[in-house]
Structure 1
Amino acid sequence: MISQSRRQEIMSHLEQRRSCSIAELAEAFGVSGETIRRDIKAMENDGQVEKLHGGVRIRENPLETSYLRRLKDNQQAKESIGAAAASLVEDGMTVLIDSGTTSYYAAEHLRAANALSVVTNSLLVARQMALIGNNRVFFTGGEINPYYLSAFGNEAISQAVKYAPEIAFFSIGAIDPARGGLDFDMDEAKFKRAMAPMARKVIVLADSSKIGKGGLVHTFHLDQIDTIITDKMPPPEIRSALGAVRILIAE
């Protein structure tokens, strides 16, 4: 096996196992440890792998370890919440979908929708919605935050506030019954605060792990939220504190 082909096979091996020892790879490919070390050196120079003591591991894509990995956290609950959110959308509506991972699942469940006008600061949502139905997609622009794969900042806000969505879907970091909707990133919260008054209805998407929790940055007062979609009914004391906010349980 020539070196280039072997390196491709090593990469496939690492994609399945994430890391391997030099000895394991040498045995698997029937070559010496020194040959494997030369392969690893070349692959490291190409940015594909990282050397370990006595071994090698695949180089993690920072996007995979952040946003794309967070998509998988509580995935079943997020899928259910996304489906419930999508059921509220009618053909022809103008809809804002923000950058949160639960909001992404709302976009995924809008496959059957038609003729929507979708405003978003999320690269993944923009791509998803542009490929389905007879939709118009308006991306806010601005600087891309690689942790969220989304645009934030003044440029994104100045473009987004030109639109008047009938429904705005916002994922949220936490819901505190005394302080409202909270997040952990200042720019993310600032974008949501700017867009909430522009929407006819503000719908917050939050799995049950986020309700009754604390956060770093204030995003919404409770009286700004029309509906919270979650996967489990909150405890009675939290339901009472949420007042007039409608609670929709995703099934």
Structure 2
Amino acid sequence: MQRSKLRHAAILTLVRDRGNLTVANIAAALRVSQETIRRDLRPLAMAGQVVKLHGAVALPAEDSEAPYERRMRENSEAKRAVARHAARHVSDGDSLMLDTGTTTSIFARELLRKRNLTVVTNSSDIARTLATVNGNKVYMAGGELNGDNGAAFGVTAVGFVASFNVRHAFISIGAMDSETGATDSSLDEAEFARMLLKQGERRYVLTDSSKFGRRALIKVCEFSDIDVLITENPPPDDLAAGLLAANVVIDVAPQRGSVIR
């Protein structure tokens, strides 16, 4: 029962993030059979959470605006606070990797204050933001592009980043709790983020506090795979205890207008 509930949540997240999806698309993303997805869709459709189309699934009309643009606006002030604070960890001339995500996209815009960066990413948005400015060098992973967020995923993208070693590796996540660590609803994004963390000397998770205490279907990493968590509000006590036990630095962005010492 618990896994079916997790799949239901993952299905809703996928459809919100990527728009209309076929049963085959969802089954491939979650690595289950199409029949399992069809069974999962029945209660979601009966509850009005999704709408079945010809061979595809969508959100009800009022929720079906462009998913990535909508997520860019969600918790935007918190994400900007995280991004501004994360930029303090990067110096001119550094090498870094960034995965795709709304928080990392906002972070990339904060990095426009830096010079001579070497950037490796699978996000076309991040690549466009940082390429050809300030003496930066940008490497974009190849592979199949996601139609919503314009990011490359799959074996080719993962293999590409595996050939780089950088000073800083930054990932975003879908959820984090004290029992399962960092999780996501997309298998492709989780696999890419997992590889990216392996290639950085210093490994960071960027997330706003709305992700705390939540759990998604697919494991991204253990706490021990992270060096620094950057967020805008302290995590709850149980999550903080797990992070500190794994020697993760919890770096909380100061509130706007406070003095950084």
> Shorter-chain TM-score: which interval?
0.7 to 0.9
Q: Which runs of structure 2 are paired with 1:1-251 in the superposition (5 Å)?
A: 65-242=66-243, 243=245, 244-251=247-254
The DSSP-based 3-state class of the residue aligned with 1:107 is helix
Are the aligned partners of 1:71 and 1:101 in contact in 2 as well (CA < 8 Å)?
A: yes
The DSSP-based 3-state class of the residue aligned with 2:113 is coil
Q: CA deviation at 1:147?
A: 2.5
In structure 1, the gaps of 5 or more residues are 1-58
Are the aligned partners of 2:177 and 2:212 in contact in 1 as well (CA < 8 Å)?
A: yes
Give, as a single letter, the amino acid of the residue that structure 2 aligns with 1:239. A
- Distance in 2 of aligned mates of 1:248 and 1:90: 17
Give, as a single letter, the amino acid of the residue that structure 1 aligns with 2:182. G
Match of 1:9 in 2: none
Give, as a single letter, the amino acid of the residue that structure 1 aligns with 2:152. A
- Distance in 1 of aligned mates of 2:241 and 2:163: 35
Q: Output the TM-score relative to the length of structure 2.
A: 0.70
- Distance in 1 of aligned mates of 2:84 and 2:92: 15
- Distance in 2 of aligned mates of 1:73 and 1:96: 24
The DSSP-based 3-state class of the residue aligned with 1:110 is helix
The DSSP-based 3-state class of the residue aligned with 1:96 is strand
In structure 2, the gaps of 5 or more residues are 1-60, 255-261
Bigger drift between 152-161 and 230-239 goes to 230-239
Q: CA deviation at 1:78?
A: 0.4
Q: CA deviation at 1:248?
A: 0.7
- Distance in 2 of aligned mates of 1:195 and 1:138: 13
The DSSP-based 3-state class of the residue aligned with 2:182 is strand
Q: CA deviation at 1:161?
A: 1.0
Give, as a single letter, the amino acid of the residue that structure 2 aligns with 1:245. V
Are the aligned partners of 2:118 and 2:137 in contact in 1 as well (CA < 8 Å)?
A: yes
Give, as a single letter, the amino acid of the residue that structure 1 aligns with 2:190. A
Give, as a single letter, the amino acid of the residue that structure 2 aligns with 1:163. F
Bigger drift between 230-239 and 181-190 goes to 230-239
- The size of the alignment, in residue pairs, is 191
**% identical equivalent positions:** 37
Q: CA deviation at 1:131?
A: 4.2
Q: CA deviation at 1:238?
A: 2.0
Larger radius of gyration: 1
Deviations 1:73-104 (A, max 9, x none): 10000001011111100111111011011011
The DSSP-based 3-state class of the residue aligned with 1:71 is helix
- Distance in 2 of aligned mates of 1:152 and 1:179: 24
- Distance in 2 of aligned mates of 1:67 and 1:165: 27
Higher relative contact order (CA 8 A, sep 6+): 2
The DSSP-based 3-state class of the residue aligned with 1:166 is strand
Are the aligned partners of 1:170 and 1:203 in contact in 2 as well (CA < 8 Å)?
A: yes
Q: CA deviation at 1:148?
A: 2.4
